[in-house]
Structure 1
Amino acid sequence: MIKTSRIEVAGKTIAKALGEELRRARETKGWSRAQFVARLPSGIGERTLLAYEHGLRQLTVIRLVELCEALGVTPPGTLTVALQKAGEYLHNLELQVDLRLLLADRGNKFRSIFPWARNRLTEEPEGIIELAPSAVRELAAFIGYPHDDLAGYLAKFTPEEQSGDPT
């Protein structure tokens, strides 16, 4: 029996989430795969792009940069959103949280952060905030839960739109 390591599983999960973010950014532009690959200087084919978008093939850093530049999104922002959606390395990520989605949640475990979320929503009418790992740690300590539990909960409320756009 071949044992799959945690890193291999995480790698597949991340590749899939990263591919989904790239596909989402491409579709936001209204581009087909053929239209997108025609814009790339590397000359990759549609099948290669398809494999990236489905997480079947892992991206090199240089390829990620190339694809993000062509899409007009930032590589760090795209990778961060993918890691958050994959639920990987949350303890090190600046989490992007859609407060409107969070406040619509009907779970009771973390209900104690709802007043905080409502107050933040008045400061951020768009509803999207970024929380540094230290802020998540402090919030978790305040409500009496482990950081990893709260980070995992907050990660579920990743904004729906592609969040790697430069502003």
Structure 2
Amino acid sequence: MLIETDRYQQVLGEELRKLRTARGWTRKELNERLQSGISLQTLATYELGTRQCSVVRLAELCLAMDELPQDLLARVHRRLFAEHQGRLKVCLDDVVADDQPELLPLRRWARGRLAEGGAAEVQFDRTTLEQLAALCELGTEELVTRLRRLSAPAPRTARAGGSHADRACGS
């Protein structure tokens, strides 16, 4: 996953501007609440994404607007990396080892893929998850929940054949 610096700055600036305008503040009003003085032009360039903001300055801006910097950055990342949302990594060894009757179609496919020498870990996108859910006669969110449970690390004694960390897909 590559970060496009210009796009990142643009989205960060948009999120800063949204925070400020949601409070009904002008740039001047925000500037008055900052610990250190910056010019209104500098503040404008941050919001336009044409100037990089230091980590310390970003924290100062966020705190002046009663926002946690990590929450602001999480929104930026959701916007920038939305194409990666809705994806789920699944360990096919876990699918094969499972015995839920509803997952039988997926288990058969996983066995075949592993027998052909395919990767033991796959990443399903949202469309694939929807299709698999229909094949298993489950709702998409129900399938996602079950697959996440399958791939969740378990205590060493909970699984036959060793811990999740001992498995091919363990991490």
Is 1:81 matched up with 2:99?
no
Aligned AA (2:62)? C
**Kindly, what percent of the aligned residue pairs are identical?**
32
Query: Aligned match of 1:56 in 46, 50, 61?
Result: 50
Q: Name the SS of the counterpart of 1:68 in structure 2.
A: helix
Aligned AA (2:32)? A
Which position in structure 2 is the counterpart of 1:25? 19
Query: Aligned match of 1:66 in 60, 73, 88?
Result: 60
> How many pairs align?
100
Q: Is the 8 A contact 1:16 1:55 kept in 2?
A: yes
Going from structure 1 to structure 2, the CA distance change for 1:78 and 1:89 (only over 3 Å counts) comes to farther
Which position in structure 2 is the counterpart of 1:14? 8
- Root-mean-square deviation (CA, aligned residues, Å) is 3.2
Is 1:38 matched up with 2:32?
yes
Q: TM-score, normalised by structure 1?
A: 0.50
Q: Is the 8 A contact 1:16 1:53 kept in 2?
A: yes
Offset, 1:89: 9.8
CA distance in 2: counterparts of 1:55 and 1:81, whole angstroms: 15
Unaligned runs of 5+ in 2: 86-125, 152-171
Going from structure 1 to structure 2, the CA distance change for 1:46 and 1:109 (only over 3 Å counts) comes to same
Q: Is the 8 A contact 1:83 1:90 kept in 2?
A: no
CA radius of gyration, larger in: 2
Which position in structure 1 is the counterpart of 2:127? 109
Unaligned runs of 5+ in 1: 1-5, 92-107, 120-134, 142-167
Q: TM-score, normalised by structure 2?
A: 0.49
Q: Is the 8 A contact 2:129 2:140 kept in 1?
A: no
CA distance in 1: counterparts of 2:12 and 2:73, whole angstroms: 6
Runs of 4 or more above 3 Å deviation: 88-91, 108-111, 113-117
CA distance in 1: counterparts of 2:15 and 2:73, whole angstroms: 8
CA distance in 1: counterparts of 2:70 and 2:11, whole angstroms: 14
Going from structure 1 to structure 2, the CA distance change for 1:42 and 1:76 (only over 3 Å counts) comes to same
CA distance in 2: counterparts of 1:20 and 1:138, whole angstroms: 34
Q: Which has the higher contact order (CA 8 A, sep 6+)?
A: 1
